Each structure stands twice: as C-alpha cells, then as structure tokens.
Structure 1
Amino acid sequence: MKITTTSIFALMASTACSFYAPQVVRSLLLPQDPPLHLARRDDEPASDDVWNKAKCIGGQFVKVFPMNDKDAGQEYLPKKDSVQSKWKGDLKDDLKKWGWTQNTLLKSVCEFDEFALGKGWVDAAKQLSIGTEGWKDIWCYRFSHGTLWDVAGEKTYNVQPDNKDYPYTGAYAQFGINDDDGAILAMDNLMPTSAIKKNKQRDPRDGEVPALQSLSELLWSGWYRGSQPDTSNNKNVKNVKYLISLSVTNSESLAIIQRALKPKNKATASLWPGDNFDMSTAEGKALLGSPNGKRFGYLLTQRKDDVGMKQIDSVTVFRGKDHSNPILIFYVK
C-alpha cells in the first residue's frame, strides 16, 4: 500500500507512543470493527494495546492543537511544512470527481428528539443550547460512494484529467450540522477502506480507494455549507463548539469507553450528565484517540486556516436513554 505524506500521523511524544506510529494511517480515522473472530465481548474493556494506542493518538492531538500549522507539521512523519488539508471550500466538485453522491433524505431520518435519542440527549442539548429540530436547527447530510449494487456489479467511475477508472466502494457517511449552535453530529458512516473490507471481504488494492476518502473531509464539506445550504453557506465556520458522536457502535470505541469508565466503578455509560474527562487525563486522551474521536482530532488539526486555533479540552460520555448506545460530546474552545 502506498503511504503518502498525509497518511501517517507520527506519534513522537514518547518512546511508548512512537511504537504506534507506523499503525496510524488515515484509514484509522474511521470506525473499523475487528474481524469477527477477534470481536470483543460486550463486557470486555479495551486491551492494553488498544488503550495505549488510543491514548497516544489522543495525546498527540492535544499536543498539536495549540501549535501553528508549520509546527504541527513537524509532528508528522515525514515532517511537513503544513498539515492544512488540500480539500478546499464546499468540496462539491471534488466529491463528484471522486465518485461521491449527495443523497436526498426523508425528514423522518433526520430526527434528534426524545423518541429517537432519549430524554438524556434532549437534556444535554437543552443544557448546551443546541437546537435539535431536523431541517431547521440541524441539516442532515448523507454522502454515498456508490451502492451495494454498484459494488456487486463492479461499476466504475472515471477520474479526469488522468482518465483513470476507479471502482465504487459502497462507502457512506451521514451526519448533522447545526452551525448556529456550533455542533457537528456524526451519525453513521462506513468509509472506503472499511467498505471494501466489508463488502469484498479483503483489503483494498492499489487504485481502489478514492483520493477523497476520510470522514473528516466529508464533515468539513457539510460544516462549510452549514445548516441552511439551500439559501447560504455557513457564515461563521469558526463557530465550532461541539463535536458529537451519536449512538457509538464501533466495538473498539465501546471497549475504550468501558475502560475509561472503569475507575469510576461503572460498567456502562450513565444517563446525562454522564461522566466528563479532561484532556489532561489518560481517559480523555484515549477517548479522543478512539475511532469515534480521532476523526474530530484530524478535522481541527488540518483546518487551522479555516476554523482557527481550536482545541478539544474535555469529553463527556453518556447515554440518551437506558440500554442505548453511548454518546460522546467533545468540547471545543
């Protein structure tokens, strides 16, 4: 697999963290479940290896958040003069070029009320002053990289100016944007590398994965357009306050959440207000470095020219209702 200068985030803060540097490729931005034979039990917290890797990744994000773009680039391997993303603006043309389609969603799939997510979520949103009405406060975006029929039929799309054909992967991403209240709400996603593994039961081959492939870039596209894209773009892209992962299902993230809660003698996340972890703690860093956290770390790290010198200072883990999947809220300042 070809590794580009943007594909490896060097964890050089300590000898222990540098051990994980070769593993931190961009595909790890995405929630990825382990093979079925390695799947964790529901009552099993993260192993030392999973925990330490996540803690190191999160710790490195915490380190580079306050750095300027050039200094942050020195933490990559190989070192770079800039970590700013090459994908600019609303990405509409770039998404189309690389085989992505924006889907039209029914109103019923953009619900953030008590019925959908529970009273705990509604209480959290009220306390944080986050409006939750779909298509008014929150605009729902869904991007798909072909359908399962396209994958099964080995359908391709052509990329110019190289005149090269790429296969559709069946990847998708769905999320909500509330620019007035500063919230990005990640809902459901399967990115190209993971989609190929799932849909074709093998690792990607050279020339299969689109250049525009990370969730952080898709989130940026939605954030740039804002919550009223039919009438105007987001007029204040620097107004990022809350990065939210709704209904976490990724097995690795769930294991990290469970281990983070263990010192509090909790086996599962509590209802709102849940448990808050500062980024100075091992638990906070591990949650930021989890599959459901690091897409947000990359979003802020690689958009310094766009959103300003933002950093995440804490994260809350909670449930919206009993027996539901955990919710993560990362607080940006």
Structure 2
Amino acid sequence: MKLTTTTTLALLASTVCGFYVPQVARSQLLPPNPPLHLTRRADEPASDEVWNRAKCYGGNFVKVFPMSDADAGQGYSPKRDSAQSRWKGDLKEDLKKWGWTENKLQKSVCEFDEFALGKGWVDAAKQLNIGTEGWKDIWCYRFSHGTVWDVAGEKKYKADDKDHPYTGAYGQFGVNAKDGVILAMDNLMPSSAIKKNKQRDPLPGEVPALQSLSDLLWGGWYRGSQPETSTNSDVKNLKYLISVSVTNAESLSIIQRALKAKDKTTVSYWPGDSFDLTTAEGQALLGSANGRRWGYLLTQRKNDIGIKKIDGVTVFRGKEHSNPIMIFYVK
C-alpha cells in the first residue's frame, strides 16, 4: 500500500490504538492483531500487549459514545464532518455490487433454545425478556463473499468497472427487532479471510469497499426480524448486543484476564460475571475482537439510532463445556 500524507496521518493516529480511521481504510491502517502467540492459549489470561490494546480501543469507544456525530467525526485523521458510515438502508444493492450473497439458511441454523445454547442462555433470555424462537422472534442472516472454491479458483466479480477477487468472507447473525437484540454468531471478514485463505496480508484493491461486520449487522438490523413482509419499524430500539459462542482466541484470553480481577479462572453459568464500562475489564472486553463490532455499530450509526452507549457487559456460559456468551447492554 502506497502511503500518502493523508494516509500516513491516519496510520500515525491508529497506531496509538485509536479507531478513528476512515471506514474504507480501516482494515489496512489499524494496527494488526497481535500474533497468536501473544494472545496465549484461550484458557490463559491475555498478555499485556493484547490487554492494553483492547483496553485502549474500549476506552476510546466509551469516550465517543456520548458525542454527537459531528464531534465524533473530528476524531478521525484527517478530521471529518461526520463519523457516519457511508452505507445506508438495507444494503441490498451495495452488498450485491461488492460481491456479497445472502445465503438461505436451514431452520436448524437459527435455533436459540436450551439444546443449542444451554439452560444458562434460556435463563438469561427469560430474565431479559428476549424471545428466542428462530424465524419468528429471531431472523437469521448470512452474507458470504464467495466461497473458498471461488478464492482458490481466483474467481472475480465486477464493481466500479473493475474486477475484484472474492475473499471467502462471511457474516452470520440473528436479529430480534421487537426485543431490541442482535446476536452475532459466526463471522470472518474480508481482510481476515484473505489472511486465512491465502496465508498473506490483503493486496491493494483486494478487499471490497463494503467490508465491515458492523455494516453487515446494520443491514440486517434495518431489515428486522420479519424481512419478507416488513422492515424494522424502530431501529432505535436497540437494547442488547450479544456475541454468541465466543471462539476468538484474543477475546477468550481477555475474558480470562477480566475474570482474574474477580479471583475467578472459569466462566460461570448465568448470571455470570458483569463488568461496568468504567472499569479496565469492561473496556478491554468492549475492545476485544468480539466487542469492537458493537462499538463501531453505535459509533457509526448515531444518525440512525441516536446517541447510545454500552454501559456494561456480562460474560457467562450457557451449558457445560460451551463457549462463552457476551451480552453488551445498550442505553
């Protein structure tokens, strides 16, 4: 990537760990995720490098949440009049243009019952008044950017009169518009997909312009949980942002270090362990790979959903030997 004066300034800003980088350049300019050896094993607390980076990200989100869109935009380098994402509405045409396909999912994929996630999850959903029936309360979306075979065969799609490669990325999540819930399930975004599928960093022009999970999440949230008959009638009704079955090694190590502050070594069943966003632990969880998606969503959608903040996060386990669930509370 050739760095101009403008992108150099953005790079300098981002290396401090801040997230105020223009959307189209973010994946290229943000400091890279630490090597896996720095995250340690998933059952060990995060290293200082991983922890401090996540805490810095989370702290920046906390600072920007109460700001107006215009003030948030001033944090970019170079400064912008707005922090708002360029992608609007249901994203259907934009997704199609940039090589994304909406996949039809089997009914079993959208199960959020005790068999799928455990009694702990069912208890949490009941206490928070979250409906959990798939394809009724919750509609499940999956967007894919080609397949691994498309990547292997170097298949292309055309956008803005140029050929672009598929990356093998995908994003899968559920939306419960009535109860104000988005549930992130299984995701691999374009830059990470290229690193995984091609064992190298992305080349210039290789990542689609529409590339962020936070934007995909917005597209699904805008469509709502009955997209075949209507759109979401109240996009401001956002209460719970949930990362289901966390498997990311970085996030798991941050969870372990956060639990250490409570003299714990394992994730508990519901009601689990809660962390305020004024604490280092809460900010690190928000700044983790499984938390940043939500921070970007609230930061870049102020003109759509209003000025909202995340003021707490709960980490818990739904059933024995299951991966942790993280619930971020929106106010």
Which interval holds the TM-score relative to the shorter structure?
over 0.9
Query: What does residue 273 of structure 2 align with?
Result: 275
2:18–2:56 Cα contact (<8 Å) kept: no
Is 2:88 aligned against 1:88?
yes
In the superposition, relative to structure 1, how do residues 115 and 34 fare at CA in structure 2: closer, same or farther (>3 Å)? farther
Query: What does residue 210 of structure 1 align with?
Result: 208
Q: Report the Cα distance in structure 1 between the residues aligned to 2:87 and 2:146, rounded to whole angstroms.
A: 21
Q: Report the Cα distance in structure 2 between the residues aligned to 1:331 and 1:237, rounded to whole angstroms.
A: 16
2:45–2:256 Cα contact (<8 Å) kept: yes
Is 2:324 aligned against 1:330?
no
Query: What does residue 16 of structure 2 align with?
Result: 19
C-alpha deviation, 1:41, in angstroms: 1.8
Query: What does residue 311 of structure 1 align with?
Result: 309
Gaps of 5+ in 2: none
What is the alpha-carbon root mean square deviation over aligned residues? 2.6
1:11–1:21 Cα contact (<8 Å) kept: no
Q: Secondary structure of 2:241's partner?
A: strand
Q: Report the Cα distance in structure 1 between the residues aligned to 2:151 and 2:330, rounded to whole angstroms.
A: 38
Query: What does residue 62 of structure 1 align with?
Result: 62
TM-score, normalising length: structure 2: 0.92
C-alpha deviation, 1:263, in angstroms: 1.5
What does the per-residue CA deviation read over 1:304-330, in whole Å, with 9 as the maximum and x for residues that have no partner? 000001100000000001211111000
C-alpha deviation, 1:21, in angstroms: 4.0
C-alpha deviation, 1:19, in angstroms: 3.1
Q: Secondary structure of 1:235's partner?
A: coil
Q: Secondary structure of 2:261's partner?
A: helix
The one-letter amino acid of 1:262's match is K
Q: Secondary structure of 2:275's partner?
A: strand
Q: Report the Cα distance in structure 2 between the residues aligned to 1:308 and 1:7, rounded to whole angstroms.
A: 32
In the superposition, relative to structure 1, how do residues 29 and 235 fare at CA in structure 2: closer, same or farther (>3 Å)? farther
Q: Report the Cα distance in structure 2 between the residues aligned to 1:97 and 1:326, rounded to whole angstroms.
A: 35
Q: Where do residues 1-333 of structure 1 align in structure 2 (5 Å cutoff)?
A: 1=1, 19-21=16-18, 26-27=26-27, 40-160=40-160, 163-333=161-331
Q: Report the Cα distance in structure 1 between the residues aligned to 2:126 and 2:36, rounded to whole angstroms.
A: 39
The one-letter amino acid of 2:65's match is F
Q: Report the Cα distance in structure 1 between the residues aligned to 2:144 and 2:8, rounded to whole angstroms.
A: 22
Q: Report the Cα distance in structure 2 between the residues aligned to 1:276 and 1:62, rounded to whole angstroms.
A: 17
C-alpha deviation, 1:36, in angstroms: 6.0
Q: Report the Cα distance in structure 2 between the residues aligned to 1:212 and 1:23, rounded to whole angstroms.
A: 17
Q: Report the Cα distance in structure 2 between the residues aligned to 1:40 and 1:23, rounded to whole angstroms.
A: 28
C-alpha deviation, 1:39, in angstroms: 6.2
Q: Report the Cα distance in structure 1 between the residues aligned to 2:8 and 2:93, rounded to whole angstroms.
A: 23
Gaps of 5+ in 1: none
The one-letter amino acid of 2:302's match is K
Q: Report the Cα distance in structure 2 between the residues aligned to 1:29 and 1:218, rounded to whole angstroms.
A: 20
Identity over aligned pairs, percent: 76
Q: Report the Cα distance in structure 2 between the residues aligned to 1:179 and 1:170, rounded to whole angstroms.
A: 28
What does the per-residue CA deviation read over 1:242-270, in whole Å, with 9 as the maximum and x for residues that have no partner? 00000000000001000000021111210
1:313–1:332 Cα contact (<8 Å) kept: yes
2:245–2:322 Cα contact (<8 Å) kept: yes
Q: How many residues align?
A: 326
1:182–1:240 Cα contact (<8 Å) kept: yes
C-alpha deviation, 1:56, in angstroms: 0.9
C-alpha deviation, 1:22, in angstroms: 8.7
What does the per-residue CA deviation read over 1:91-127, in whole Å, with 9 as the maximum and x for residues that have no partner? 0000000000000000011100000000000000000
In the superposition, relative to structure 1, how do residues 240 and 10 fare at CA in structure 2: closer, same or farther (>3 Å)? farther
TM-score, normalising length: structure 1: 0.92
C-alpha deviation, 1:208, in angstroms: 0.6
The one-letter amino acid of 2:183's match is L
2:20–2:75 Cα contact (<8 Å) kept: no
Q: Report the Cα distance in structure 2 between the residues aligned to 1:139 and 1:282, rounded to whole angstroms.
A: 34
Q: Report the Cα distance in structure 2 between the residues aligned to 1:123 and 1:9, rounded to whole angstroms.
A: 45
In the superposition, relative to structure 1, how do residues 39 and 261 fare at CA in structure 2: closer, same or farther (>3 Å)? closer
The one-letter amino acid of 1:64's match is V
The one-letter amino acid of 1:48's match is D
2:104–2:142 Cα contact (<8 Å) kept: yes
